[in-house]
Amino acid sequence: MDAPVPLILAALLAAGALVAPGPRLRAGAMLGALVLAPIILGFHISDSDQVEPLRDHPSLAVAGAVGAVVVLAVLAVLFDRRPAWLPVAAAATLPFRVPIASGGSTANLLVPLYLVVAAGAAAYAVPRLAGRERPEGGRPPGALEWALAATLALYGIQSSYSADFGHALENVVFFYVPFALLFALVARVPWTPKLARVCLGVLVVLALALVGIGFVEYATRHLFLNPKVIASNQLEDYFRVNSLFFDPNIYGRFLAIVMLLLAAWLLWARRQREVVAGALLLAVLWGGLVLTFSQSSFTALLVGLAILGAMRWSVRWALILSGAALVIAVGIVALAPGAVHLELGNSKSADKATSGRYDLIKGGLKLFKRAPLVGQGSGSFAREYRRAEHVSPERAASASHTIPVTVAAEQGAIGLVVYLALLAAALARLFRGARRVPERAAVAAAFVALVAHSMMYAAFLEDPLTWTLLGAGTAMALWAAVREPAPA
């Protein structure tokens, strides 16, 4: 099913789940998106090698479908009775990816998280469509929900003229639709300090387990996943780990976000043993982050820590220290460019020092100039970049590594305006009154860190962390409005 109309409809249904004015309309949009997206995906991957065993053995396909339905039904009943379990289950499944062949390439998909989202959507939608009343939490759609909905709708519409419709389809079906439903569900959960602590505990335990696997990889010099990184490690002087992730930078991003949430808990801790425990946990996670050699993750962590410092103590001192760090960095580049492998005025040196980002950004800006208003089409960056720059598929496979440039190239000025509006609405939602509530300060700092990471690497709305943080921050803002503010 490579026609754009069903894909646009799926994107519009997901958008409707965010901005529908009433529970029944929201439930209908959720259920429609939940049903339509797998159908589109089924047609899209029907000829892939991984589907061949199911075609040859129909009984296996039926058994798998029945098993999936049973799991979904059980989870849906649990989430209907215990809505607070949904964000905990989402946190527990955030890192786990399964490689699936699609459209001639392999996508690393969050299959366990998809099961949680599907069950949560069914638990929300079925009772309301059946006329059974349920408590309705959450806030009416605001600027953030409308910006997210506009992003979904625009991305679906602009896929209709994309040179790589298959990639746009995968982004909508694999990421935008399920993660939009995840946001809608998490934002409606009554968020309490206890729930925030439980989710943090789950994330920390997962991060420690993943770091342990990373330590094993480093000690044995053997990666469990990602042939590209394995080949790269044979050429570089250093060894990068990616644990159970398929990308060291995405692994590093996850660790940086968990470290920021843990650091916020540490900064507002009142008992000495909490401070000691938090410091020890951060030391272990830092060791895991170092082994990723992810420049973008280090930067994101520093940005997030600066935000936390500003909210916990002083904005002025956070700005002064950040400015001093920037001056030192510029001074090192100017006085000792060889230390960072950067020769001023040399584009090849700049490209090498930024791991190829310089040329990708330059190529992305050229694509933007070719279609400044509407762009080249959703998901088309890699293919259009290869055509324009005459490079190999591997050279352009990661888009521009800078989300605003990718948005400008693919969606033009229209998409860029929507992207900036989304950032503005998200920051306003997360930061308003966040200094008075440690949990909200943690989410706000983590989101800014993720945005900083996306400025140097791929994946913004394609990362479930983005939607989860926005959903949790939305629910916390509503919860904070009816509880006594915590002492600053």
The stretches in the chain having pLDDT less than 70 are 1-2, 45-57, 60-61, 100-107, 225-238, 317, 321-322, 324-357, 392-400, 480-488
- Judged by DSSP in three states, 269 sits in coil
Q: For residue 98, list its beta bridge partners.
A: 109
Question: Any residues with CB less than 8 A from the CB of 462 and at least 6 apart, and which?
Answer: 171, 175, 176
- Any alpha helices (H) in 94-192, and if so which ranges? 111-129, 143-158, 165-170, 177-186
The pLDDT of residue 229 is 53
Number of neighbouring beta carbons within 10 Å of residue 92: 17
The pLDDT of residue 51 is 60
Model's pTM, two decimal places? 0.89
User: CA torsion 173→178→183→188, rounded to 10°?
Assistant: 140
User: How far, in Å, are 60, 100, 281 from residue 284 at the CA level?
Assistant: 43, 32, 5
Domain boundaries, the chain: 4-141, 193-340+403-480
Question: Any residues with CB less than 8 A from the CB of 408 and at least 6 apart, and which?
Answer: 364, 365, 368, 375, 415, 416
Question: Any residues with CB less than 8 A from the CB of 225 and at least 6 apart, and which?
Answer: 242, 244, 245, 246
| Residue located via tokens 């089409």 | 377
The pLDDT of residue 200 is 96
Quick one: DSSP state of residue 101? Answer: E
The pLDDT of residue 56 is 64
Q: Which two tokens stand for residue 31?
A: 């259920």
